[in-house]
Amino acid sequence: MRCTIVPPYLLARLSRLDASGLETVAAAAHETLMHTRPLREARQSAVLRPADPRSPGGGPQRSISDAGGREILPGTVVRSEGGTPTGDPAVDEAYDGLGATYGLFADAFGRASIDGRGLGLDATVHYGARYDNAFWDGERMVFGDGDGEVFRRFTLSLSVIGHELSHGVTQYSSPLDYSGQSGALNESISDVFGALVEQHSRQQTTDHASWLIGEELFTDMVEGAALRSMKAPGTAYNDDVLGVDPQPAHMRDFVDTSDDNGGVHINSGIPNRAFYLVADSLGGYAWQRAGQIWYDTLSGGALAPRATFVDFARATQQSASSRFGEGSSELEAVERAWSSVGVRS
């Protein structure tokens, strides 16, 4: 399953544009939607580099490839671990972003790479022509350069890089079916750790963080701050071209739909808001307590593939209780947050 940062409903809207001057945007969005299965050179299926068990202190093993504007993976390797900057912004941003993601999971949670055993981190940049997305395909990160009119290059956003690699952490920890509520949890978990990657890299406390996902992606022609807001789902953009951010922040506004794998990018706003409320209540560095609770829940083995929001709420409460104790401020914050978004566990 390809896990993308830009939801299909947004690309579908862009692909239907017929206003003069927006033909390039419409064509780019259409091509991005249509090309869902990249060709692979020298292999028919994904092959993961063997994990090398070691401590997090061993450091990341990164490899950045250049697709050269084609939709063929993996492309040509242009920078490997320890290599000097290339001068290509996309290559060097991807390299640094993979390192920052590794750094969060190693420093905060003692995890060696996305699989916990030192798996190499691979990425491909310059994928496709005006490709309006970035995605995790089960093997590597892949970044488009954007159409230049609505979207800029996707390596610009550290929260996007952290988000997509965190799909790999979920894949190796508690694989959640990518549909319905479990799919929305899958997306939300990636937003959570994508935000934490950015905050950890910048050493931001909860009150100084933006809580925006993809803040750097839109060009100046867009009336919007980011793809999503964890602090205030539904407020990330309000634009004549993009429309209005459709994310709900409460279960009363849950969207029943067959689109977007059952609304995985839409309804993720509800658990996103719950995490923000926990982090805001506890303060300080969000990865130290709120993030630890979410990481314990993800890595603890208690989540079923079809976990619901209620299941996840109960699991986070158990994680908070196990780590911080009954009656702790951490447990109380988790309970209040889920109640505040209408998830009754």
What DSSP character marks residue 204? -
pLDDT in tens, 298-340: 999 989 999 999 999 999 999 999 999 999 999 999 999 999 9
With a cut of 80, say whether residue 45 has pLDDT above it. Answer: no
* Inter-CA distances, 6 with 43, 115, 130, 132, Å: 27, 24, 14, 8
Quick check: is 164 catalytic?
A: yes
Q: Does position 284 have pLDDT exceeding 70, yes or no?
A: yes
What band does 22 get if pLDDT is binned at 50, 70 and 90? confident
**Would you place residue 164 in the very low, low, confident or very high pLDDT band (cuts 50, 70, 90)?**
very high
Task: Name the catalytic one among 126, 163, 167, 265.
Answer: 265
pLDDT band at 295 (very low <50, low <70, confident <90, very high): very high
- Give the global pTM: 0.93
CATH number, domain with residue 69: 3.10.170.10
Q: What is the pLDDT of residues 190-249, one digit of tens each?
A: 999 999 999 999 999 999 999 999 999 999 999 999 999 999 999 999 999 999 999 999
6: left (phi over 0), alpha (psi -120 to 50) or beta: beta
Q: In terms of domains, do 67 and 152 share one?
A: yes
Q: How far apart are CA 20 and CA 30, in angstroms?
A: 16
Residue that terminates a domain, selected from 153, 173, 193: 173
Domain annotation covers residue 345: no
| Count of domains for the chain | 2
167 and 248 housed in the same domain: no
Q: Which domain holds residue 288?
A: 180-340
Let me know if residue 300 belongs to a domain: yes
Kindly state whether residue 198 falls inside one of the protein's structural domains: yes
Tokens 């602090």 sit at which residue?
231
**CATH code for the domain in which residue 303 is found:** 1.10.390.10
Statement to judge: residues 67 and 157 lie in one domain = yes
| pLDDT, position 128 | 95
Both 132 and 188 in one domain: the answer is no
**167 lies in the same domain as 309:** no
The tokens describing 65, both together, are 């490839």
Q: For the chain, give percent helix, strand, coil, nearest 5.
A: 40, 10, 45
Give the torsion through C-alpha atoms of 178, 179, 183, 187, to 10 deg.
80
Which residue among 139, 164, 215, 330 is the active-site one? Answer: 164
Whether 265 is a known active-site residue: answer yes
Q: Are residues 215 and 107 in the same domain?
A: no
What letter represents residue 51's amino acid?
Answer: A
Whole-angstrom Cα Rg for the chain: 19
**Does any domain span residue 283?**
yes
**150 & 262 share domain:** no
